[in-house]
Structure 1
Amino acid sequence: MRVYPKPLEIGDEEGFSTGKDLFGKSNLASGMSHLVATVEDPLVIAFDGQWGSGKTTFLKMWAGELRKSGHPVIFFDAFENDYVEDAFAALAREIIELAEEKAPQKGKVIEDIRDKASQLGVLLLKGATKVGVKVAVRAATAGLASADDFKDLGEDISKEVEGAAEAYMNQLLDQPRKQKQIAEGFRKALAELPGLLAPPTEGEQQKPLIFIIDELDRCKPHFALALLERIKHFMSVPNVHFVLGVHLTQLQGSVKYAYGNNIDAAAYLQKFINITILNVETITNKDNTDLHKYANYLTGILNIRTDSESPISTSKETIIRILQYEQMSHRTLERVFTILSLAIGLTPQDRLQLGGIMGGLVMMKLLRPDLFRKAKQGLLSLQEAKEFLRFPPGEGYGVEDMGWEETWWTYCLSESPSKDLEEFGKSLRFRYSIRDRKDIIKYTANDVIDRLI
């Protein structure tokens, strides 16, 4: 029995043609490919979606399509690299590694861009406060520079610098010409790189280098913002485009963390981002949403029973309805199905498993632990359950006007059920030897949802 979905493995050149495009995003990818291939001016594109909405999977597939069409592509996980002290070094390392892999015969060109990147990286590092840099200089520069590159810095960098802002400004004033020359040298070398990596045939437009930066919103705030600043000031050259996998709302939080709550974070980010593409679903069929598709996928890979006795169908509808209302992500759905697969897998088939009840309790366990605790203690009220579960509106108040799920919750939790409800529950109580209808919620919470053996 599986309780966690296996991570979707996507090869470097798989693209969208291998049956892994669960949500039908290939048309969006084609549009983005046309955009980056058509525009020569440097672009920074934000692919904006909340955490767990499938951004990484989409961007990896899109990267595969770009590679198949001949574009040089870098896929960079910013979250995995935010231990690097200087953001420029982390970006430059990826560029140099791609150049070494794709064009090893162009040794002189690669050495030139490596040299320019090293010079600029050292210059940027000089202007910042560093404590014990000589001990960890290679980590700070992502391996671009060695300790020898800093031998001329003297005491300024071998110990903690007081008044970092003042020291940095002094450096800017002392060596503006040198800084400008080094930065321009790096930009020139970078601008020549797309032609080296993807030489155009006669009459063909130059294919740009696409640098995809994923998980930007999960980085340490100073690293995420430094990446944006380094891109704008040192890597904005023709035929080099950056695509950011990011939840902009979270990144705005990083801006406020760094610069204070009074800053207009959205306006600040507009200085760095040219185009925003929203990773949102356009729902045409409310019963076939991305959440439905992903729920069906999870049911398969987790081997959850789907026979006539399995509660998965009604559990799924309850779960999806609440997730849609709360605007939760696919990642939340994974957590829900982990709990649900354990509950179904560990509970004998001859025991009571009411899908509508189970789905609601799983969502309480994740989103409202206070209500789930009440359910385990037998203290949950019908009003509390209805407010959380948000049943679809009916036309009346009788059993015939309520859906199957609402009928069961009303039967289990109402203070004085109607004759219709009592009749409705007779067969269940007889089949499972339930003495008190109010025990159903308590039993399901304790002996199904939280069952361990």
Structure 2
Amino acid sequence: MKLIPSPIQITDETGFSEDLDIFNRAPFGESLYQLINNTPGEMVIALDAPWGSGKSTFIRMWIGLLHKKNMQHIYFDAFKNDYKSDPFLAISSEIYELIEEQEGSDSERLNQFLEKSKSACLVMARAGVRMGLRALTAGIIDDTTFEDSGAEEESSAFADSFISDRLAKSKSEKKSIEDFKICLNAIAKEGNGEGNGRLVFIIDELDRCRPNYALEVLEIIKHFYSVDSITFVLVTNRRQLEKSIECEYGYGIEASEYLQKFVSIWTTLPRTIDDGKSIPGKYIVDCLKRMEFRLGNIEQDPIYTDLEELASGYQLSFRNLERVLTNFAIVYNSFDGGLSGNDAQVAFYISIVKVKFPKVYDKLAKNNISYMSLKEETRLDVLQPNFYWSRQTEIYSDIETHQLRAILRFNMFDNIGNQNSFASTHPKFDMRNVKMEKTSIGDICERIDLFRV
């Protein structure tokens, strides 16, 4: 069994292929494309979903759809570019590369865009100037330096000169921005086919950027790139982006309202699948296949049903599910012949506890928690009673109504004597349903901790 799922291979031509689009998001992708294609004018769409929920994978498939529709598009990973100080140059360079790819390095349109970008960039540079002496001199000189020195008049004259110069440049700066936008709009309209003269600019991972960089990207889009023929698609986690706003401007700001200045439409990934299966369940099966785990009829296996129920109940992200499966693979591979049955069920559960409840896991690894506390703190009641175990309670009132809970309860007895005592007081109960044959809870924790992820 592989320790991590093999990467999903998606190219610009792949699109929503049947074997990769396990959540059937192709209809949503088509609707998003049609919305953009049929809506004239500038627009910013934000795709909102939590971290590790498959946003980037969806976007990579959607790019394939745009490719098939012959719609111009650019993909920009904001997180990979947030080490740069100027998002204007980073975004402009993507458009420059698109033109160069389409028309070559000697293109007249390319040279025109370069010249207009230079002028707009100068406007950006001037906008960064602050009139205060402290800012102008990086704090070496501030306003108090000249107190009682007779230099106040010089300082005032400097300020007057600065203001006059700024007013004189204001008109030319406005024209530079307008010329840049006209040039940008013309470039976007060069699209052919079903693209309808539109450029789709996708900005991914915006929520993972430095807060100031993320907000600068939004400001740049608003003031320099808002033209009729460009639609921006921001791929982000709204709550994290709001935290970036609060980090920059203070917690008194209405972050949600602030974002409305930049985003025209919010959307999110569909949460349901037509075949009735859960999204976590589909992802678990897909990951186990890519990890080359013995599957068989996995969806009928108690191991799978437990994992699906817990993943849904705990609302585990795809990223956290991958970490859970890696923890399990470490335990599974460390045994000759792997694990099965009750041992595997418990190993999966403990792998979840390690990721979702790290403090509880520490107590479990140190044998410093009772079963009832474990049940409460990890909310094991999310596991629904099943028929066989519910029937057992008709015979023995102290039996759990779910197999995993019953296995954990039995194997967390203080010692073998207590287990034997349980067996003697439950003579009709098949102990094979709860015994761990190959390992123990403590052994599983030890193996996870030896090879941490």
State the TM-score bracket (shorter-chain normalisation).
Answer: 0.7 to 0.9
> How far has the Cα of 1:428 moved from its partner?
7.3
Could you tell me the TM-score, scaled by structure 1's length? Answer: 0.81
Counterpart in the other structure of 1:223? 213
Q: Is the 8 A contact 2:331 2:444 kept in 1?
A: no
> How far has the Cα of 1:331 moved from its partner?
0.7
Matched, 1:330 2:318: yes
Counterpart in the other structure of 2:155? none
Code of the residue aligned with 1:10 in structure 2: it is: I
Could you tell me the TM-score, scaled by structure 2's length? Answer: 0.81
Counterpart in the other structure of 2:329? 341
Secondary structure of 2:83 counterpart:
coil
Code of the residue aligned with 1:237 in structure 2: it is: V
Counterpart in the other structure of 1:410? 409
Counterpart in the other structure of 1:52? 52
Q: Is the 8 A contact 2:5 2:288 kept in 1?
A: no
> How far has the Cα of 1:223 moved from its partner?
0.9
Counterpart in the other structure of 1:68? 68
Secondary structure of 1:354 counterpart:
helix
Q: In structure 2, do the counterparts of structure 1 residues 350 and 40 end up closer, same or farther at CA, with 3 Å as the change threshold?
A: closer
Q: In structure 2, do the counterparts of structure 1 residues 251 and 265 end up closer, same or farther at CA, with 3 Å as the change threshold?
A: same
> How far has the Cα of 1:231 moved from its partner?
0.8
Secondary structure of 2:70 counterpart:
coil
Code of the residue aligned with 1:36 in structure 2: it is: I
Counterpart in the other structure of 1:140? none
Q: Give distance in 1, aligned partners of 2:435 and 2:315.
A: 39
Secondary structure of 1:236 counterpart:
coil
Q: Give distance in 2, aligned partners of 1:236 and 1:317.
A: 49
Counterpart in the other structure of 1:139? none
Counterpart in the other structure of 1:136? none
Matched, 1:182 2:176: yes
Code of the residue aligned with 2:403 in structure 1: it is: W
Counterpart in the other structure of 1:365? 354
Q: In structure 2, do the counterparts of structure 1 residues 103 and 162 end up closer, same or farther at CA, with 3 Å as the change threshold?
A: farther
Counterpart in the other structure of 2:152? none
Counterpart in the other structure of 2:292? 303
Q: In structure 2, do the counterparts of structure 1 residues 92 and 163 end up closer, same or farther at CA, with 3 Å as the change threshold?
A: farther
Counterpart in the other structure of 2:189? 195
Q: List aligned pairs for 1:388-427, cutoff 5 A.
A: 388-391=378-381, 392-394=383-385, 398=397, 402-413=401-412, 417=422, 424=429, 426-427=431-432
Q: Deviations over 1:133-177 (max 9, x none)?
A: xxxxxxxxxxxxxxxxxxxxxx9999747799x99x957645211
Higher mean C-alpha displacement, 339-348 vs 310-319: 310-319
Q: Give distance in 1, aligned partners of 2:338 and 2:248.
A: 57
Q: Give distance in 2, aligned partners of 1:46 and 1:429.
A: 49
Q: Deviations over 1:47-86 (max 9, x none)?
A: 1111111111111111111122111110000000011111
Q: In structure 2, do the counterparts of structure 1 residues 129 and 340 end up closer, same or farther at CA, with 3 Å as the change threshold?
A: farther
Q: Is the 8 A contact 2:343 2:436 kept in 1?
A: no
Secondary structure of 1:119 counterpart:
helix
> How far has the Cα of 1:45 moved from its partner?
0.2
> How far has the Cα of 1:280 moved from its partner?
4.1
Q: Is the 8 A contact 2:69 2:195 kept in 1?
A: no
Matched, 1:294 2:288: no
Higher mean C-alpha displacement, 212-221 vs 325-334: 325-334
Unaligned runs of 5+ in 1: 131-154, 434-438
| Higher Cα radius of gyration | 2
Match of 1:317 among 294, 301, 305: 305
> How far has the Cα of 1:393 moved from its partner?
4.6
Match of 2:247 among 245, 257, 261: 257
Number of aligned residue pairs: 415
Q: List aligned pairs for 1:14-33, cutoff 5 A.
A: 14-17=14-17, 19-33=19-33
Q: Give distance in 1, aligned partners of 2:299 and 2:384.
A: 23
Q: Is the 8 A contact 1:346 1:451 kept in 2?
A: no
> How far has the Cα of 1:451 moved from its partner?
6.0
Matched, 1:233 2:227: no
Q: Give distance in 1, aligned partners of 2:139 and 2:75.
A: 35
> How far has the Cα of 1:299 moved from its partner?
0.9
Q: Give distance in 1, aligned partners of 2:290 and 2:129.
A: 50
Q: In structure 2, do the counterparts of structure 1 residues 297 and 8 end up closer, same or farther at CA, with 3 Å as the change threshold?
A: same
Secondary structure of 1:16 counterpart:
coil
Q: Is the 8 A contact 1:313 1:355 kept in 2?
A: no
Match of 2:201 among 175, 198, 211: 211
Counterpart in the other structure of 1:382? 371
Q: In structure 2, do the counterparts of structure 1 residues 186 and 420 end up closer, same or farther at CA, with 3 Å as the change threshold?
A: farther
Q: In structure 2, do the counterparts of structure 1 residues 301 and 186 end up closer, same or farther at CA, with 3 Å as the change threshold?
A: same
> How far has the Cα of 1:34 moved from its partner?
0.4
Secondary structure of 1:282 counterpart:
coil
Q: List aligned pairs for 1:90-129, cutoff 5 A.
A: 90-104=90-104, 107-128=107-128
Code of the residue aligned with 2:176 in structure 1: it is: I
Q: In structure 2, do the counterparts of structure 1 residues 199 and 358 end up closer, same or farther at CA, with 3 Å as the change threshold?
A: closer
Backbone CA RMSD of aligned residues:
3.5
Q: Give distance in 2, aligned partners of 1:413 and 1:339.
A: 21
Unaligned runs of 5+ in 2: 143-157
Counterpart in the other structure of 1:134? none
> How far has the Cα of 1:390 moved from its partner?
2.0
Q: In structure 2, do the counterparts of structure 1 residues 375 and 105 end up closer, same or farther at CA, with 3 Å as the change threshold?
A: closer
> How far has the Cα of 1:90 moved from its partner?
0.9
Matched, 1:8 2:8: yes
> How far has the Cα of 1:318 moved from its partner?
3.1
Matched, 1:281 2:271: yes
Q: List aligned pairs for 1:125-136, cutoff 5 A.
A: 125-128=125-128
Counterpart in the other structure of 2:147? none
